[in-house]
Homo-oligomer: A and B are copies of this chain.
Amino acid sequence: MTAPETHKRMANAIRALAMDSVEKAKSGHPGMPMGMADVATVLFTRFLKYDVNQPHWPDRDRFILSAGHGSMLLYSVLHLLGSKELPISELQNFRQLHSKTPGHPENFVTPGVETTTGPLGQGLAMSVGFALAERMLNAEYGDGLVDHYTYVIAGDGCLMEGVSHEAIDLAGHLKLNKLIVLFDDNGITIDGHTDLSTSVDQVARFKASGWNAERVDGLDPEAVAAAIERARNSDRPSMIACKTIIGYGAPTKADSHASHGSALGDKEIAGAREALGWPYAPFEIPDDVYADWHGAAAKLAAPRTEWEARLAATDAAVRSEFERRMKGELPAGLDAAIDAYKKTLSETKPKVATRKSSEMALDMLATVVPELAGGSADLTGSNLTRAKSQQPLTPDDYSGRYIHYGIREFGMSAAMNGIALHGGFIPYGGTFLVFTDYARPAMRLSALMHERVIYVMTHDSIGLGEDGPTHQPVEHLAALRAIPNMLVFRPADAVEAAEVWQIAIESPKNPSVLALSRQNLPTLRTEHVSENKSAKGAYLLAGPAEADVTLFATGSEVEIAVNAKAKIEEAGHTARVVSVPSFELFEAQDDAYKAATIGNSKVRVGIEAAIRLGWDRVIGNDGIFIGMNGFGASAPADKLYEYFGITAQHAADAALARLKSNA
């Protein structure tokens, strides 16, 4: 058989498996795998440095299917390469409960899938983080241990989504030349031809952002291979627009949105089999095709043993640190350092904003945890996210550990997902809490994938003052607490800020949001304890175990609760204050702890400069809530707290009035 014939059969195997799996599930997206089968075959048999049964090998090339609906492309390739995790039975179980072949690729379900995709644009945006992490780690460990490519397949949808701009601009600026994007340029979206809604010249667009970009015939394997070869030797990131035909081979549905998102049907599949010259039964792959794929797989995997030899020859201390970081384990000494730091805080009692407390904690942490990789969406001086020891990362020096992400909250967050997934780093990044709205699609993926990404979100309430309601979060704490697996922290002082940083770093399977104040707050935890009190989510901060009134508060409002307690006591009643740095962690405690912490007070008051949603869980339906009923306003912070009635006096008055009416 000639080489072109061999290639064609290997590519047609992908097409057939995609058609058959979607048909069996009566659900899925056959069009993209059929169109991109040639490109994928070239990439996965000639270029990708990859061992399909060692999917976590650190120096493998990364492949990201940004057009995640084409999941059958990836599952087919993994199967054909010989993945033990994906026998043909898994492909026959496509999109069924508990299969390893879910509708969109899920890295936490399927070994060999690098990241979870489907929400368009985000695979591309995460790939910037993957490629950046590779260069950052390379700067520390050299070519011998870290030197690989990041390949992406992206579709029209990915490139229409706004986050693609943030990703492309950032990657071009940072000259991430080992990032190679294969654009499935098929001219079709769900609604029809792309000319319904877009006219952009993608090649010119990428060039404007500092990329190499060219267009090739995506059905011509040699043209694709030559373009990939050029891209691998480029000094910039590369985009190869591969002109393809969606649903290639389908007699009536090719080149039409009809092949995009549903099973083709028996008759169309029979026609496609004939057109492709593929006479085999559903899910039948001839031995020669398996043999060709397995042969390619062996060749692709060869560099792994060479790499392992290099690792074995590496200085033991370097090697052990490299392995620790790639496993996501933490350095020794972290807890002791935090304990000592907390002790100092309880003694010195700083009165600073929690964004400043966070910076102080970071200054310490960055020296103990070298894998911390920080950044901000262009608010460094406001978020206070740069530790003293961190130098900026630049296109000419990837050893910097502080990343100027630019005004790209979504792109930053997606890049952080990519960095976390790549391994070797714990990424954190800052913006204003209100702009979690921009970052939210990526934050959701952090949570779904159980990735350790730390969102440092400052200016966390009307306390930011004059910038006004566009910049004042009121619903964001509730909206973030709604995301499963997300830990949302609102520390009350410098000690809690240190504690929540500790929890965030020591939670390898959760992303965290640190909601931090702009305004100064006193140290309330003035008696040092080694225990991380914030880890229980809520705890009795002040007052007796039982009292007439319990005041629950978070963050900057805990000070108000403490002052309200004093006023209630002046009026002859007893009161206690419970600080609630994390609703999620409190919910996770046992019933006895929860009951003791909530207590038996006749009156429960919740204080948070945000909306009530979620608070009924703590204070009950009849609890008094001191917070916001709607959007904020532009004015100095103290004026706003007064205007919206979030004051100790108001809280105390409301509690006392309730005590009186109950009496």
Instruction: Give the interface of A toward B (CB within 8 A).
Output: 25, 27-28, 68, 95-99, 102-104, 106, 116-121, 156-157, 160-166, 169-170, 172-173, 189-192, 196-202, 204-205, 207-210, 376, 378-382, 392, 404-408, 410-411, 434-435, 437-438, 440-441, 444-445, 447-448, 465-471, 474-475, 478-479, 481-485, 611, 613-614, 616-617, 620-621, 629-631, 633-636, 639-640, 643
Please, how many angstroms separate the alpha-carbon atoms of A116 and B104 in the complex?
A: 37
Given A200-B169, A205-B205, are A119 and B621 neighbors across the interface (CB < 8 Å)?
A: no
- Complex contact A408–B68 (CB within 8 A): no
- Complex contact A190–B631 (CB within 8 A): no
Shortest beta-carbon distance, A383 to chain B, in Å?
10
Given A467-B103, A613-B614, A633-B97, are A173 and B199 neighbors across the interface (CB < 8 Å)?
A: yes
Which residue on chain B has the smallest CB distance to residue A414?
B162
Q: In the complex, which residues of chain B have a beta carbon less than 8 angstroms from the beta carbon of A482?
A: 475, 478-479, 482, 611, 613
Q: In the complex, which residues of chain B have a beta carbon less than 8 angstroms from the beta carbon of A190?
A: 378-382
20 CB < 8 A contacts A-B: A27-B465, A97-B633, A97-B634, A97-B636, A102-B468, A106-B634, A119-B435, A161-B407, A162-B410, A170-B197, A172-B199, A190-B381, A191-B380, A191-B381, A197-B406, A438-B440, A474-B484, A478-B479, A479-B483, A484-B631
- Complex contact A161–B156 (CB within 8 A): no
- Complex contact B160–A408 (CB within 8 A): yes
Which residue on chain B has the smallest CB distance to residue A409?
B161
Q: In the complex, which residues of chain B have a beta carbon less than 8 angstroms from the beta carbon of A196?
A: 392, 404, 406
Q: Which 6 A-B pairs have the closest CB atoms?
A: A162-B162, A197-B406, A165-B165, A102-B634, A97-B635, A118-B470
Picked from B120, B162, B170, B483, the residue with its CB within 8 Å of the CB of A411 is B162
- Complex contact B634–A104 (CB within 8 A): yes
Q: In the complex, which residues of chain B have a beta carbon less than 8 angstroms from the beta carbon of A404?
A: 191-192, 196-197
Given A156-B407, A162-B411, A482-B611, are A466 and B95 neighbors across the interface (CB < 8 Å)?
A: yes
Shortest beta-carbon distance, A375 to chain B, in Å?
10
Given A97-B639, A157-B407, A484-B630, are A378 and B68 neighbors across the interface (CB < 8 Å)?
A: no
Picked from B104, B162, B484, the residue with its CB within 8 Å of the CB of A468 is B104
Choose among A191, A207, A392 the residue with the greatest number of B CB atoms under 10 Å from its CB. Answer: A191
- Complex contact A104–B470 (CB within 8 A): yes
Please, how many angstroms separate the alpha-carbon atoms of A643 and B98 in the complex?
A: 11
Which residue on chain B has the smallest CB distance to residue A620?
B621
Choose among A192, A437, A484, A631 the residue with the greatest number of B CB atoms under 10 Å from its CB. Answer: A437
Picked from B25, B189, B631, the residue with its CB within 8 Å of the CB of A407 is B189
Please, how many angstroms separate the alpha-carbon atoms of A117 and B104 in the complex?
A: 36
Which residue on chain B has the smallest CB distance to residue A395?
B199
Please, how many angstroms separate the alpha-carbon atoms of A561 and B465 in the complex?
A: 46
- Complex contact A161–B200 (CB within 8 A): no
- Complex contact B466–A408 (CB within 8 A): no
Please, how many angstroms separate the alpha-carbon atoms of A448 and B633 in the complex?
A: 11
- Complex contact B406–A198 (CB within 8 A): yes
- Complex contact B611–A614 (CB within 8 A): no
Q: In the complex, which residues of chain B have a beta carbon less than 8 angstroms from the beta carbon of A631?
A: 447-448, 484-485
List 11 additional contacts besides A106-B634, A444-B475, A445-B470; criterion CB under 8 Å. A98-B633, A161-B166, A161-B408, A172-B199, A189-B406, A197-B407, A204-B207, A205-B205, A447-B631, A448-B469, A478-B478
- Complex contact B621–A617 (CB within 8 A): yes
Choose among A98, A162, A210 the residue with the greatest number of B CB atoms under 10 Å from its CB. Answer: A162
- Complex contact B197–A405 (CB within 8 A): yes
Q: In the complex, which residues of chain B have a beta carbon less than 8 angstroms from the beta carbon of A106?
A: 468-470, 634
Picked from B104, B202, B405, the residue with its CB within 8 Å of the CB of A467 is B104
Q: In the complex, which residues of chain B have a beta carbon less than 8 angstroms from the beta carbon of A205?
A: 205, 208-209
Picked from B121, B164, B208, the residue with its CB within 8 Å of the CB of A208 is B208
Q: In the complex, which residues of chain B have a beta carbon less than 8 angstroms from the beta carbon of A445?
A: 470
- Complex contact A378–B468 (CB within 8 A): no
Q: In the complex, which residues of chain B have a beta carbon less than 8 angstroms from the beta carbon of A466?
A: 25, 27-28, 95, 103
Q: In the complex, which residues of chain B have a beta carbon less than 8 angstroms from the beta carbon of A191?
A: 376, 378-381, 404
Please, how many angstroms separate the alpha-carbon atoms of A369 and B303 in the complex?
A: 66
Please, how many angstroms separate the alpha-carbon atoms of A121 and B478 in the complex?
A: 25
Q: In the complex, which residues of chain B have a beta carbon less than 8 angstroms from the beta carbon of A629?
A: 484
- Complex contact B163–A162 (CB within 8 A): yes
Please, how many angstroms separate the alpha-carbon atoms of A116 and B634 in the complex?
A: 13
Picked from B172, B411, B470, B485, the residue with its CB within 8 Å of the CB of A68 is B470
Given A160-B406, A479-B482, are A635 and B95 neighbors across the interface (CB < 8 Å)?
A: yes
Please, how many angstroms separate the alpha-carbon atoms of A447 and B437 in the complex?
A: 14
Q: In the complex, which residues of chain B have a beta carbon less than 8 angstroms from the beta carbon of A96?
A: 634-636, 639
Shortest beta-carbon distance, A128 to chain B, in Å?
12
- Complex contact B634–A103 (CB within 8 A): yes
- Complex contact A613–B381 (CB within 8 A): no
- Complex contact A475–B484 (CB within 8 A): yes
- Complex contact A378–B621 (CB within 8 A): no
